[in-house]
Structure 1
Amino acid sequence: MGRKYAIRDQLSIYSLTFTVVNWIDLFIRDQYKLIIQSSLQYCQVNKHLKVHAYCIMTSHIHIILSVDKGELSDVIRDIKSFTSRALREELENKENRESRREWLLWMFERASKKNKRNTNFQFWQQNNHPIELSTNEMIDQRLDYVHNNPVEAGFVFKAEDWVWSSARQYAGENGDIELEYL
Protein backbone atom coordinates (compact mmCIF):
# COMPACT_ATOMS: atom_id res chain seq x y z
CA MET A 1 0.00 0.00 0.00
CA GLY A 2 1.53 3.32 -1.09
CA ARG A 3 1.60 6.45 1.00
CA LYS A 4 0.13 9.64 -0.34
CA TYR A 5 3.06 11.65 1.00
CA ALA A 6 6.41 10.07 0.27
CA ILE A 7 9.79 11.07 -1.08
CA ARG A 8 9.82 9.46 -4.49
CA ASP A 9 12.60 11.44 -6.21
CA GLN A 10 15.52 11.63 -3.78
CA LEU A 11 17.17 14.55 -5.62
CA SER A 12 14.09 16.80 -5.89
CA ILE A 13 13.24 19.73 -3.63
CA TYR A 14 10.74 18.93 -0.86
CA SER A 15 8.75 20.90 1.63
CA LEU A 16 8.52 19.03 4.93
CA THR A 17 7.16 19.51 8.41
CA PHE A 18 8.80 17.97 11.46
CA THR A 19 6.29 17.98 14.32
CA VAL A 20 6.89 17.27 18.00
CA VAL A 21 4.66 14.49 19.31
CA ASN A 22 1.38 15.80 20.71
CA TRP A 23 2.30 19.22 19.27
CA ILE A 24 4.25 19.96 22.46
CA ASP A 25 5.65 23.50 22.50
CA LEU A 26 9.28 22.63 23.18
CA PHE A 27 10.88 25.19 20.89
CA ILE A 28 9.97 28.13 23.10
CA ARG A 29 13.52 28.07 24.43
CA ASP A 30 16.55 28.93 22.31
CA GLN A 31 18.66 26.05 23.67
CA TYR A 32 16.40 23.57 21.86
CA LYS A 33 16.25 25.56 18.64
CA LEU A 34 20.05 25.72 18.60
CA ILE A 35 20.16 21.90 18.53
CA ILE A 36 18.01 21.95 15.39
CA GLN A 37 20.16 24.65 13.83
CA SER A 38 23.44 22.84 14.53
CA SER A 39 22.07 19.56 13.14
CA LEU A 40 21.08 21.26 9.89
CA GLN A 41 24.48 22.92 9.66
CA TYR A 42 26.25 19.61 10.25
CA CYS A 43 24.21 17.91 7.51
CA GLN A 44 24.99 20.75 5.12
CA VAL A 45 28.72 20.21 5.60
CA ASN A 46 28.76 16.42 5.86
CA LYS A 47 25.69 15.02 4.10
CA HIS A 48 25.20 17.19 0.98
CA LEU A 49 22.08 18.85 2.44
CA LYS A 50 20.74 22.01 0.85
CA VAL A 51 18.47 24.12 3.02
CA HIS A 52 16.28 26.34 0.85
CA ALA A 53 13.99 27.74 3.56
CA TYR A 54 13.03 27.01 7.15
CA CYS A 55 10.97 28.23 10.05
CA ILE A 56 11.26 26.87 13.58
CA MET A 57 7.91 27.29 15.30
CA THR A 58 7.12 26.37 18.91
CA SER A 59 5.98 22.79 18.22
CA HIS A 60 7.10 22.10 14.68
CA ILE A 61 9.54 23.01 11.93
CA HIS A 62 8.69 23.86 8.33
CA ILE A 63 11.59 23.29 6.03
CA ILE A 64 12.37 23.11 2.32
CA LEU A 65 15.26 20.76 1.59
CA SER A 66 17.12 18.87 -1.09
CA VAL A 67 20.41 17.05 -1.49
CA ASP A 68 22.84 17.19 -4.36
CA LYS A 69 24.11 13.68 -3.66
CA GLY A 70 22.79 10.64 -1.83
CA GLU A 71 19.31 10.06 -0.46
CA LEU A 72 17.21 12.86 1.00
CA SER A 73 15.28 10.25 3.02
CA ASP A 74 18.51 9.18 4.73
CA VAL A 75 19.43 12.74 5.65
CA ILE A 76 15.96 13.42 7.05
CA ARG A 77 16.16 10.22 9.09
CA ASP A 78 19.57 11.28 10.42
CA ILE A 79 18.37 14.79 11.31
CA LYS A 80 15.35 13.49 13.19
CA SER A 81 17.33 10.74 14.92
CA PHE A 82 20.19 13.00 15.99
CA THR A 83 17.96 15.84 17.16
CA SER A 84 15.74 13.44 19.09
CA ARG A 85 18.74 12.02 20.96
CA ALA A 86 20.31 15.46 21.52
CA LEU A 87 17.06 16.96 22.78
CA ARG A 88 16.56 14.00 25.10
CA GLU A 89 20.07 14.44 26.50
CA GLU A 90 19.40 18.14 27.01
CA LEU A 91 16.17 17.39 28.86
CA GLU A 92 17.76 14.67 30.99
CA ASN A 93 20.64 16.97 31.97
CA LYS A 94 20.11 17.76 35.66
CA GLU A 95 21.59 21.22 35.14
CA ASN A 96 18.87 22.05 32.61
CA ARG A 97 16.62 24.58 34.31
CA GLU A 98 13.60 23.60 32.20
CA SER A 99 10.58 23.95 34.49
CA ARG A 100 8.65 21.31 32.54
CA ARG A 101 11.53 18.84 32.36
CA GLU A 102 9.90 15.90 34.18
CA TRP A 103 6.59 16.38 32.39
CA LEU A 104 8.28 16.62 28.98
CA LEU A 105 10.29 13.45 29.54
CA TRP A 106 7.15 11.66 30.70
CA MET A 107 5.23 12.82 27.60
CA PHE A 108 7.98 11.64 25.23
CA GLU A 109 8.21 8.30 27.05
CA ARG A 110 4.42 7.96 26.92
CA ALA A 111 4.39 8.68 23.17
CA SER A 112 6.91 5.87 22.57
CA LYS A 113 4.55 3.33 24.14
CA LYS A 114 2.14 3.91 21.23
CA ASN A 115 4.78 3.29 18.56
CA LYS A 116 6.38 -0.09 17.85
CA ARG A 117 9.50 1.60 16.37
CA ASN A 118 10.48 3.31 19.62
CA THR A 119 11.15 1.61 22.91
CA ASN A 120 11.28 4.37 25.51
CA PHE A 121 11.37 7.82 23.91
CA GLN A 122 9.66 9.41 20.92
CA PHE A 123 10.23 13.07 20.15
CA TRP A 124 9.06 13.53 16.55
CA GLN A 125 5.84 12.42 14.94
CA GLN A 126 6.53 9.72 12.34
CA ASN A 127 5.33 11.44 9.17
CA ASN A 128 7.08 14.47 7.65
CA HIS A 129 4.33 15.28 5.14
CA PRO A 130 6.81 15.65 2.24
CA ILE A 131 5.58 17.63 -0.75
CA GLU A 132 7.71 17.63 -3.88
CA LEU A 133 8.06 21.15 -5.25
CA SER A 134 8.04 20.51 -8.97
CA THR A 135 6.83 23.89 -10.30
CA ASN A 136 7.69 27.54 -9.65
CA GLU A 137 4.12 28.09 -8.47
CA MET A 138 4.49 25.34 -5.86
CA ILE A 139 7.84 26.75 -4.73
CA ASP A 140 6.40 30.26 -4.32
CA GLN A 141 3.37 28.94 -2.43
CA ARG A 142 5.46 26.85 -0.01
CA LEU A 143 8.00 29.65 0.55
CA ASP A 144 5.15 31.99 1.47
CA TYR A 145 3.60 29.36 3.72
CA VAL A 146 6.87 28.58 5.53
CA HIS A 147 7.83 32.22 6.02
CA ASN A 148 4.38 33.49 6.97
CA ASN A 149 3.72 30.81 9.58
CA PRO A 150 4.81 33.04 12.52
CA VAL A 151 2.69 35.89 11.13
CA GLU A 152 -0.38 33.64 10.86
CA ALA A 153 0.26 32.43 14.41
CA GLY A 154 0.31 36.03 15.62
CA PHE A 155 3.91 35.97 16.85
CA VAL A 156 5.14 38.78 14.57
CA PHE A 157 3.70 41.30 12.14
CA LYS A 158 6.32 40.76 9.42
CA ALA A 159 7.79 37.38 8.47
CA GLU A 160 11.36 38.68 8.52
CA ASP A 161 10.96 39.64 12.21
CA TRP A 162 10.85 35.96 13.25
CA VAL A 163 14.46 35.25 14.25
CA TRP A 164 14.26 31.48 13.67
CA SER A 165 13.28 31.68 10.01
CA SER A 166 14.95 32.09 6.65
CA ALA A 167 12.49 34.91 5.87
CA ARG A 168 15.15 37.24 7.30
CA GLN A 169 17.68 36.06 4.72
CA TYR A 170 15.18 36.26 1.87
CA ALA A 171 14.62 39.88 2.98
CA GLY A 172 18.36 40.60 2.67
CA GLU A 173 19.40 40.17 6.32
CA ASN A 174 22.00 37.80 7.73
CA GLY A 175 21.09 34.37 9.06
CA ASP A 176 22.74 31.49 10.84
CA ILE A 177 21.92 28.72 8.38
CA GLU A 178 23.43 28.89 4.90
CA LEU A 179 20.71 28.90 2.26
CA GLU A 180 20.42 27.73 -1.31
CA TYR A 181 17.90 30.32 -2.47
CA LEU A 182 14.96 29.29 -4.63
Structure 2
Amino acid sequence: MEREKGWKMSEEAILSRKLRKALQLLLFQHHRLPGAKGWELRKALGKDYLNIIRILNKKLEDLGLEIKIIHESKEEEDLDKARFYIVFKSISEELSSWRIDTLAILAVSIAYIATKNSVKKQELQELLKEKFPDWKIDQELNMFIRRGYLEEKDENLYIGWRTKAEVDIKKLIESIAGYNIS
Protein backbone atom coordinates (compact mmCIF):
# COMPACT_ATOMS: atom_id res chain seq x y z
CA MET A 1 0.00 0.00 0.00
CA GLU A 2 2.84 2.42 0.85
CA ARG A 3 4.45 1.88 -2.55
CA GLU A 4 1.22 2.63 -4.39
CA LYS A 5 0.65 5.78 -2.35
CA GLY A 6 4.27 6.90 -2.86
CA TRP A 7 4.09 6.19 -6.60
CA LYS A 8 0.85 8.15 -6.96
CA MET A 9 2.33 11.14 -5.15
CA SER A 10 5.33 10.96 -7.45
CA GLU A 11 3.06 11.11 -10.53
CA GLU A 12 1.23 14.07 -9.01
CA ALA A 13 4.53 15.81 -8.28
CA ILE A 14 5.68 15.25 -11.87
CA LEU A 15 2.38 16.60 -13.22
CA SER A 16 2.57 19.62 -10.91
CA ARG A 17 6.14 20.35 -12.05
CA LYS A 18 5.13 20.06 -15.72
CA LEU A 19 2.14 22.36 -15.20
CA ARG A 20 4.38 24.99 -13.58
CA LYS A 21 6.92 24.67 -16.41
CA ALA A 22 4.17 25.01 -19.06
CA LEU A 23 2.78 28.10 -17.33
CA GLN A 24 6.26 29.61 -17.16
CA LEU A 25 6.87 28.99 -20.87
CA LEU A 26 3.52 30.48 -21.85
CA LEU A 27 3.59 33.55 -19.60
CA PHE A 28 7.15 34.79 -19.93
CA GLN A 29 8.39 36.29 -23.17
CA HIS A 30 11.43 34.38 -24.42
CA HIS A 31 11.81 35.88 -27.86
CA ARG A 32 10.19 38.78 -29.68
CA LEU A 33 6.71 37.33 -29.14
CA PRO A 34 5.07 36.03 -25.96
CA GLY A 35 3.93 32.44 -25.61
CA ALA A 36 5.78 29.38 -26.86
CA LYS A 37 6.00 27.29 -30.00
CA GLY A 38 4.70 23.74 -29.91
CA TRP A 39 8.19 22.29 -30.36
CA GLU A 40 9.40 24.28 -27.32
CA LEU A 41 6.60 22.86 -25.19
CA ARG A 42 7.24 19.32 -26.45
CA LYS A 43 10.95 19.67 -25.67
CA ALA A 44 10.32 20.98 -22.14
CA LEU A 45 7.29 18.86 -21.19
CA GLY A 46 7.69 15.66 -23.19
CA LYS A 47 5.64 14.04 -25.91
CA ASP A 48 2.43 14.24 -23.82
CA TYR A 49 2.66 18.06 -23.76
CA LEU A 50 -0.84 18.45 -25.25
CA ASN A 51 -2.35 16.68 -22.22
CA ILE A 52 -0.43 19.04 -19.93
CA ILE A 53 -1.73 22.01 -21.95
CA ARG A 54 -5.33 20.71 -21.69
CA ILE A 55 -5.04 20.31 -17.90
CA LEU A 56 -3.48 23.77 -17.55
CA ASN A 57 -6.22 25.26 -19.72
CA LYS A 58 -8.88 23.81 -17.38
CA LYS A 59 -7.11 25.36 -14.37
CA LEU A 60 -6.81 28.74 -16.12
CA GLU A 61 -10.57 28.83 -16.86
CA ASP A 62 -11.26 29.68 -13.19
CA LEU A 63 -9.12 32.80 -13.64
CA GLY A 64 -10.88 33.92 -16.82
CA LEU A 65 -7.92 32.90 -18.97
CA GLU A 66 -7.48 30.38 -21.76
CA ILE A 67 -4.75 28.94 -23.95
CA LYS A 68 -5.05 29.77 -27.65
CA ILE A 69 -3.18 27.93 -30.38
CA ILE A 70 -2.35 30.10 -33.38
CA HIS A 71 -0.94 28.60 -36.57
CA GLU A 72 1.48 30.66 -38.66
CA SER A 73 -0.68 30.23 -41.77
CA LYS A 74 -4.28 29.15 -42.31
CA GLU A 75 -3.34 25.92 -44.11
CA GLU A 76 -0.86 24.85 -41.47
CA GLU A 77 -1.91 22.24 -38.94
CA ASP A 78 1.54 21.33 -37.54
CA LEU A 79 1.38 21.95 -33.77
CA ASP A 80 5.18 22.05 -33.52
CA LYS A 81 5.19 25.28 -35.56
CA ALA A 82 2.06 26.74 -33.93
CA ARG A 83 2.37 29.32 -31.16
CA PHE A 84 0.56 28.80 -27.85
CA TYR A 85 -0.63 31.90 -25.91
CA ILE A 86 -2.45 32.60 -22.67
CA VAL A 87 -5.15 35.23 -23.23
CA PHE A 88 -8.18 36.61 -21.40
CA LYS A 89 -11.37 34.81 -22.34
CA SER A 90 -12.91 38.24 -22.74
CA ILE A 91 -10.66 41.06 -23.83
CA SER A 92 -13.18 43.65 -22.71
CA GLU A 93 -11.14 44.30 -19.54
CA GLU A 94 -8.22 45.59 -21.59
CA LEU A 95 -10.20 47.35 -24.29
CA SER A 96 -12.66 49.00 -21.90
CA SER A 97 -10.09 51.68 -21.12
CA TRP A 98 -9.62 52.52 -24.82
CA ARG A 99 -11.38 55.45 -26.46
CA ILE A 100 -14.26 54.59 -28.78
CA ASP A 101 -12.50 56.13 -31.78
CA THR A 102 -9.41 53.99 -31.10
CA LEU A 103 -11.60 50.87 -31.04
CA ALA A 104 -13.28 51.99 -34.27
CA ILE A 105 -9.91 52.42 -36.02
CA LEU A 106 -8.82 48.98 -34.79
CA ALA A 107 -12.08 47.31 -35.89
CA VAL A 108 -12.03 48.89 -39.35
CA SER A 109 -8.33 48.08 -39.78
CA ILE A 110 -8.74 44.42 -38.81
CA ALA A 111 -11.85 43.95 -40.94
CA TYR A 112 -10.33 45.65 -43.99
CA ILE A 113 -7.04 43.75 -43.77
CA ALA A 114 -8.85 40.44 -43.13
CA THR A 115 -10.89 40.79 -46.32
CA LYS A 116 -7.76 41.34 -48.40
CA ASN A 117 -5.18 39.31 -46.37
CA SER A 118 -2.81 42.29 -46.56
CA VAL A 119 -3.08 45.93 -47.50
CA LYS A 120 -0.69 48.79 -48.23
CA LYS A 121 -0.40 50.98 -45.15
CA GLN A 122 -1.14 54.06 -47.26
CA GLU A 123 -4.32 52.45 -48.64
CA LEU A 124 -5.63 51.82 -45.12
CA GLN A 125 -4.69 55.35 -44.06
CA GLU A 126 -6.64 56.76 -47.02
CA LEU A 127 -9.70 54.73 -46.01
CA LEU A 128 -9.48 55.91 -42.40
CA LYS A 129 -8.95 59.57 -43.41
CA GLU A 130 -12.62 59.76 -44.36
CA LYS A 131 -13.54 59.71 -40.65
CA PHE A 132 -10.40 60.41 -38.59
CA PRO A 133 -7.60 63.03 -38.54
CA ASP A 134 -4.16 62.09 -39.95
CA TRP A 135 -2.36 62.42 -36.62
CA LYS A 136 -4.86 60.08 -34.92
CA ILE A 137 -4.54 57.45 -37.66
CA ASP A 138 -0.73 57.42 -37.52
CA GLN A 139 -0.68 57.33 -33.72
CA GLU A 140 -3.19 54.47 -33.47
CA LEU A 141 -1.75 52.34 -36.29
CA ASN A 142 1.70 52.59 -34.71
CA MET A 143 0.26 51.56 -31.34
CA PHE A 144 -1.55 48.59 -32.93
CA ILE A 145 1.70 47.49 -34.59
CA ARG A 146 3.65 47.82 -31.31
CA ARG A 147 1.04 45.84 -29.37
CA GLY A 148 0.85 43.08 -31.98
CA TYR A 149 -2.67 43.68 -33.30
CA LEU A 150 -1.21 44.54 -36.71
CA GLU A 151 2.04 43.52 -38.35
CA GLU A 152 3.99 45.67 -40.80
CA LYS A 153 6.32 44.31 -43.49
CA ASP A 154 7.59 46.42 -46.41
CA GLU A 155 4.84 49.07 -46.11
CA ASN A 156 2.16 46.33 -46.05
CA LEU A 157 -0.07 45.67 -43.06
CA TYR A 158 -1.15 42.18 -41.97
CA ILE A 159 -3.22 40.76 -39.14
CA GLY A 160 -0.91 40.55 -36.10
CA TRP A 161 -0.32 37.70 -33.67
CA ARG A 162 -2.42 39.35 -30.98
CA THR A 163 -5.45 39.80 -33.23
CA LYS A 164 -5.23 36.12 -34.18
CA ALA A 165 -5.10 35.20 -30.50
CA GLU A 166 -7.70 37.59 -29.08
CA VAL A 167 -10.17 38.62 -31.78
CA ASP A 168 -12.85 36.51 -33.44
CA ILE A 169 -12.33 38.04 -36.89
CA LYS A 170 -15.34 36.31 -38.45
CA LYS A 171 -17.64 37.63 -35.72
CA LEU A 172 -16.16 41.13 -36.08
CA ILE A 173 -16.77 41.18 -39.84
CA GLU A 174 -20.30 39.82 -39.35
CA SER A 175 -21.13 42.54 -36.83
CA ILE A 176 -19.78 45.26 -39.14
CA ALA A 177 -21.51 43.82 -42.23
CA GLY A 178 -24.76 43.19 -40.37
CA TYR A 179 -25.24 39.60 -41.57
CA ASN A 180 -23.77 36.13 -41.01
CA ILE A 181 -20.88 34.94 -43.13
CA SER A 182 -21.12 31.26 -43.98
Q: Same fold (TM over 0.5)?
A: no
Task: Compute the TM-score of the two structures, normalised by the length of structure 1.
Answer: 0.28
Higher helix proportion (structure 1 or 2) = 2
Higher relative contact order (CA 8 A, sep 6+): 1
User: Bigger radius of gyration, 1 or 2?
Assistant: 2
